[in-house]
Amino acid sequence: MTLPIATQWYTSTKIDDDTTLILEPHVHVLEQANMFLVEGSERDMILDTGMGIVPLKPYLDTFRSNPDKDIICVSSHTHIDHIGCVHEFETRLVHPAEADEMASPSGLSSLYRDDIPASLLQTFLDAGYPPIDELLIDALPFAGYDPKSYVLRGAPATGLLNEGDVVDLGNHQYSVLHLPGHSPGGIGLFEASSGVLFGADAIYDGPLIYEGPGMSVPDYLKTFEKLKALDVSMVHGGHDPSFGSVRMHEIIAKYEAIWST
């Protein structure tokens, strides 16, 4: 199979004064996670780092208003589509339940469909995702790129984030929420002053994934109780477009109904 060469690997969209959404449009939607850059008065934050096919930090530095400013890398959890470029950042934060996994990833580390466990592929199909061709990418990042050379590197955490900790960017203060269910150490970030929630893979407006290694519906139900208690104005999920409070409650109600039958 001959793939075209991508003209650019990442796209960025400014979603508010300080926040930019970064995507990898040539990655199959199944593993195409949202990355969020928040530029703070004291330091910047990148929440999640994609697949790691192409270096991320040099790309961010092309448009950060001050590329010399410190940047904190927060991993919402350690699935392949969220920690690909974590090793590029000096400050790397994750929940303790997934620190070992981030240091040496044990899960999927391939761009080939045939390397994805059949049960996991079926979970994705059942959840409503489109099927995958041979590869998780539909273009090469540059001429001569060999998809077989792909590895998920990971990197040891330089600090841990527990429930109630604060990620301080100066003019933005995000409280850490432990949101297990999709993964044991999944975290979200909530800014009480604005009502902005980064929900990561605990909540987004697409098929939620809750059957697989490290996943738990009972944990997910407790996570939903935590989310329902928040006064949110805007939710930026780990996948798919952002949404407001009404939609968040609709999504939660839908899955609570599915899981109660």
Closest separation between CB of residue 220 and Zn ion, Å?
13
By beta-carbon distance, which residue lies closest to Zn ion? 79
Closest separation between CB of residue 107 and Zn ion, Å?
10
Identity of the residue, 3 or 221, whose beta carbon is nearer to Zn ion in the bound complex: 221
Closest separation between CB of residue 32 and Zn ion, Å?
11
Identity of the residue, 169 or 227, whose beta carbon is nearer to Zn ion in the bound complex: 227
Closest separation between CB of residue 79 and Zn ion, Å?
3
Q: What is the 3-state secondary structure (H, E, C) of the chain?
A: CCCCECCCCCEEEECCCCEEEEECCCECHHHCCCEEEEECCCCEEEECCCCCCCCCHHHHHCCCCCCCCCEEEECCCCCCCCCCCHHHCCEEEECHHHHHHHHCCCCCCCCEHHHCCHHHHHHHHHHCCCCCCCECECCECCCCCCHHHCCCCCCCCCEECCCCCEEECCCCEEEEEECCCCCCCCEEEEECCCCEEEEECCCCCCCCCCCCCCCCHHHHHHHHHHHHCCCCCEEEECCCCCECHHHHHHHHHHHHHHHHC
List residues near Zn ion by CB under 5 A.
79, 201
Identity of the residue, 20 or 78, whose beta carbon is nearer to Zn ion in the bound complex: 78
Identity of the residue, 44 or 201, whose beta carbon is nearer to Zn ion in the bound complex: 201
Closest separation between CB of residue 143 and Zn ion, Å?
31
Identity of the residue, 101 or 201, whose beta carbon is nearer to Zn ion in the bound complex: 201
